[in-house]
Structure 1
Amino acid sequence: MIIFLSFLCFLCFLPIFIVSLLFLELSKLLKPKLPSGQDNLPPGPTCIPFMAVLQSFNQKSHSLFRGLCQKYGPVMLIRFGMESMDILVISSKEAAEEYHEGCSRPETVGSHLFSYNCEDSGSAPSGEREEWETSRYRTMIKLLNTKTQSFRYIREREIDLFVKKLSECAARRSPVNLTKTLFTLVSNMTFRVLSGQNLQECKFIDDDSIAELVKRFDMITEYFSFPEMLPYGFGWLIDRIWGPSKRSRKAFSELRTFFESILDDRLNSGEMVLENMDIIDLMIDMIRKQEKDIDSIKLTTEYLKTIITEMFLAQVNTSVTALVWAMAELIGNPRVMKQVQDEIRTTLGDKKERITEDDLDQLHYLKLVVKETFRLHPSVPVLPPSGASRDKIQGYDIPKEALIMINVYGIARDPKVWTDPDEFNPDRFSNSSLDYKGLEFELLPVGSGKIICPEMRMATVELALVNLLYFFDWGLPHGKRAKDMDLEETGIITLSKKTALDLVPVLHH
């Protein structure tokens, strides 16, 4: 029976294997044509054929790009297939600075999947630049700059509940799955800012579903615009057979349905608390007020759903990833752990019952730890593809239809910029003015310029980290050693720690 089933599997995949071989040989024989009038293209592989594309998706894209850029240079053109897609990979701060002005997002399968058909503030293509800029301005300025401080009481309240639960675990000296625990904290914090309630209070989800959300996030962040990488329908065929987009669409659809239920319920109820408006209240109020302004660019309820989903996904993913990596690196570097805890406890004293965001400004070394975490483990190792908005970068001709990808991981580990770039050393920033909020190209944890992630303005990472380090000492479960800790990375869009971080909290006082 086993032999018979194996034979059936062989017959099913034989056509794909034959087509793959034919395409591979054809790709080797044919060289891509240079675009008209462009003879000074950036260096790079002449043509990456079909099977090489498939193999690259079994690797981490940032590792693949880093290896290729070491051979071809900081501005590299990768040509997938024959005439399917040109990807320009930027791996130096100089090239990133030259490019970032005027960048735009192309329309891809991935952008349609994550952004309600390219309607979100980070995925709008250049053809809708005016509307994108206006909506971007509304989102960044109105929602965040004016409201971030007013939401601090929410973040601090959720942190209080978080510390209380950790204290119960510490009393039992039981290991904590810090990855899952931090996900619950950040998702509750973010969801309360958006909707005025945490996930446990939401009638559209139960506690058991929160753990399932972690898995859904993992599935979503593994998706990449695979179909666009292959020409003549091959990408579509392989995608339908192996199903990466199908799985991701299903996962994203479940999350989208969750947010739609919340928003529809709020819209139908008509309830709004004017004194402590959450993000949803604020945007509904904007939609109602715009009806009086005939000339304004209209915000729709569908766009509202887009923004809420985007903000939740981006905030939770980037914050949890950064916090897990920070704690993992501190466990593996006892000297740094002691130095940052000494600073926190000396500065804030031993009897503080609650840490607020006002306390963060006093903690210089803590900020260095956060900077180094973002440098060594950027939440987004390769920025999502942007459209080519200029004809030349660093003197090279840029194909008109090329996708531009900024290799954040490569820039952050460039030995020309950083000493011992693969080492975790916060002291490297002690005399540096580099900012991790997307303003310096040596340090691009989540983007820069017009494609910056607005959630970067929230103080989630610093506030959570200082509470972890002030109230608790940390160790590995019995029998585990720091030098044996698994620091393997996983993910294509978001670079997470592959295995969960299990630590034992001990109350400091």
Structure 2
Amino acid sequence: MINSLFHRIICGVSRDMLNLLQLLRQHEIFSISSPLLFFTLLLIFFVALIRPAGKRKLILPPSPGKLPIIGNLHNLGRQPHRSLHVLAQRFGPLMSLRFGNVPVLVVSSADAACEIKKTHDLTFINGPKLSVTQKLLYDYKDVASAPYGEYWRQMRSICVLNLLSNKRVKSYQTIREEETALAMEYIKRYCSSGLPVNLTELFSATTNNVICRIALGRKYNEDKNKFKKLLSDFLELLGTPNVGDYLPWLAWVSHVNGFNAKVDKVAKELDQFLDGVIEEHVNRHNRHENDRRDFVDVLLETQKQETVGFPIERISIKALILDVFSAGTDTTYTVMEWAMTELLRHPKAMKELQKEIRKVSGGKSSISEDDLHNMHYLKAVIKETLRLHPPIPTLLPRVSSKDVKINGYDIVQGTQVVINAWAIGRDPSSWEKPEEFIPDRFLNNPIDFKGHHFELIPFGSGRRICPGMQLAMQINELY
């Protein structure tokens, strides 16, 4: 670097000196030995020293044209994962965009995702600071949005050990089987009456019931419609971008159109609901046995014992409960909905799955979780559904904590990274006939969704991989 700077200075001074000498000689202002020449050359040298070196030109990934002020926001469309996929087919698996003031990197291939989630995982370990997330998730106190560090590690450990470990997930088997049996009875009753069954509502209700019983200890049927609407609004707002996060000088728009008021309202109502849940547990006199405690019981006990090295505030407990619902309900039943849609579209796959169910059940009226390990075609159907329809198509965004090189391109600090899992699952360089629903591709295939194969990362990968993956898959496979 020093040699390069010295070379530029010398070249610059030499060029200036020669030009000046020629000019002075042409006009015969003074002779070569004139004292004025000495001071002139000294001044040129001084100016050359303080002249700022030219800024290195960044090598950015290819990019579509940008509009003034908004950048590429107009390119997103109503289904961003599809719009970004179309753009990536023109500009490549690493694509540079700009959302207002924010630089954005869009990743659309398995190799590029590996660079982000494995090679440079620590550089992209944190998510962006978004106003909606801050309000709804208690100022980033939950596991999903908390900054990487000791607090995040401890909160994640509490969730995994007390809710999402293999042992705990297995202990919820009775709950899952009971709720599944109730769903089957509902279907039989409606079908025998000749009435149609809304599978979306059934999947949603059943999943919510399972999560409520696991996390809160009981179903909240008396407030079913209110709670369902509140949770729906919460999830919708979490996925809605706030214009002020990308164009700060337009932040006032969210005040005028009522968006901020809606966020505040939902946040307040959720907070009141969660306070009621916690108070109900605090006031409960007859505690469950150790293996029958729900998640709130565990959190309150951890708070009382202070076993994590620092006090757990009530606000953290509420944030963790919200994580369980935001990650364990909508995303879970969405996979079931898509799986059933694809099976109805592909009668051959449906018949193959029915054949396997009859074989494994051995004449029993129902399938238990103990039978699932023998249902290989079912697992292939779920994998193929996750490939084509990941529950969060662009995963959770991340932010670069420093300047970094990715595949020869400069990614500057503060760049928001969007990994398009939907596009990766349809990449023809990774999948044969990528647009077709072919569960057989996963029979005798080592590719899995646990974060090690970047061709299939519906739950993410690396340190921030979804900790509830196993619980979600147990629910999906049983239903």
Common fold, TM-score beyond 0.5? yes
Which of 62, 66, 81 aligns to 1:62? It is: 81
Match of 2:245 in 1: 228
Q: CA deviation at 1:277?
A: 0.8
Call closer, same or farther: CA 1:90–1:372 in 2, change over 3 Å.
same
Whether the 8 Å contact between 1:121 and 1:132 is mirrored in structure 2 is yes
How many residues get paired? Answer: 418
Which of 368, 383, 388 aligns to 2:380? It is: 368
Q: In the TM superposition, what are the counterparts of 1:188-207 in structure 2 within 5 Å?
A: 188-200=209-221, 205-207=222-224
Q: CA deviation at 1:138?
A: 2.7
Aligned residue identity for 2:293: M
Whether the 8 Å contact between 2:401 and 2:414 is mirrored in structure 1 is no
Match of 1:306 in 2: 319
Q: Equivalents in 1 of 2:260, 2:381: separation in Å?
A: 36
Gaps of 5+ in 1: 1-34, 468-509
Call closer, same or farther: CA 1:114–1:410 in 2, change over 3 Å.
farther
Match of 1:259 in 2: 274
Whether the 8 Å contact between 1:62 and 1:381 is mirrored in structure 2 is yes
Whether the 8 Å contact between 2:396 and 2:418 is mirrored in structure 1 is yes
Q: Equivalents in 1 of 2:172, 2:147: separation in Å?
A: 31
Q: Equivalents in 2 of 1:142, 1:464: separation in Å?
A: 21
Q: CA deviation at 1:38?
A: 5.8
Q: Equivalents in 1 of 2:255, 2:76: separation in Å?
A: 16
Match of 1:499 in 2: none
Match of 2:255 in 1: 240
Q: CA deviation at 1:442?
A: 0.9
Q: CA deviation at 1:340?
A: 0.7
Q: Equivalents in 1 of 2:392, 2:204: separation in Å?
A: 17
Q: CA deviation at 1:250?
A: 3.1
Gaps of 5+ in 2: 1-53
Q: In the TM superposition, what are the counterparts of 1:92-491 in structure 2 within 5 Å?
A: 92-100=109-117, 101-102=121-122, 103-126=125-148, 129-145=149-165, 146-200=167-221, 205-209=222-226, 212-213=229-230, 215-216=232-233, 219-220=236-237, 222-231=239-248, 233-234=249-250, 236-269=251-284, 272-275=287-290, 276-290=292-306, 296-350=309-363, 352-389=364-401, 391-458=404-471, 460-461=472-473, 463=475, 466-467=478-479
Deviates more, 1:46-55 or 1:238-247: 46-55
Call closer, same or farther: CA 1:296–1:215 in 2, change over 3 Å.
closer
Call closer, same or farther: CA 1:186–1:216 in 2, change over 3 Å.
same
State the TM-score, normalizing by the size of structure 2.
0.81
Whether the 8 Å contact between 2:81 and 2:423 is mirrored in structure 1 is yes
Which secondary structure does the structure 2 equivalent of 1:263 belong to? helix
Q: Equivalents in 2 of 1:107, 1:405: separation in Å?
A: 14
Alignment RMSD (CA, Å): 2.4
Instruction: Report Cα offsets for 1:70-105 as digits up to 9, x if no partner.
Output: 122111121233xx1111111111121121222212
Which secondary structure does the structure 2 equivalent of 1:79 belong to? strand
Q: Equivalents in 2 of 1:320, 1:380: separation in Å?
A: 12
Call closer, same or farther: CA 1:455–1:46 in 2, change over 3 Å.
same
Call closer, same or farther: CA 1:121–1:90 in 2, change over 3 Å.
same
Q: CA deviation at 1:457?
A: 1.4
Call closer, same or farther: CA 1:69–1:245 in 2, change over 3 Å.
farther
Whether the 8 Å contact between 1:385 and 1:405 is mirrored in structure 2 is yes
Aligned residue identity for 2:205: T
Q: Equivalents in 1 of 2:184, 2:241: separation in Å?
A: 36
Q: CA deviation at 1:318?
A: 0.9
Match of 1:76 in 2: 95
Which secondary structure does the structure 1 equivalent of 2:111 belong to? helix
Whether the 8 Å contact between 1:220 and 1:252 is mirrored in structure 2 is no
Q: CA deviation at 1:445?
A: 1.4
Whether the 8 Å contact between 1:322 and 1:373 is mirrored in structure 2 is yes
Q: Equivalents in 2 of 1:464, 1:104: separation in Å?
A: 29
Call closer, same or farther: CA 1:420–1:242 in 2, change over 3 Å.
farther
Instruction: Report Cα offsets for 1:7-28 as digits up to 9, x if no partner.
Output: xxxxxxxxxxxxxxxxxxxxxx
Call closer, same or farther: CA 1:199–1:242 in 2, change over 3 Å.
same
Call closer, same or farther: CA 1:140–1:269 in 2, change over 3 Å.
same
Q: Equivalents in 1 of 2:241, 2:449: separation in Å?
A: 25
Whether the 8 Å contact between 2:63 and 2:97 is mirrored in structure 1 is yes
Aligned residue identity for 1:277: R
Deviates more, 1:417-426 or 1:246-255: 246-255
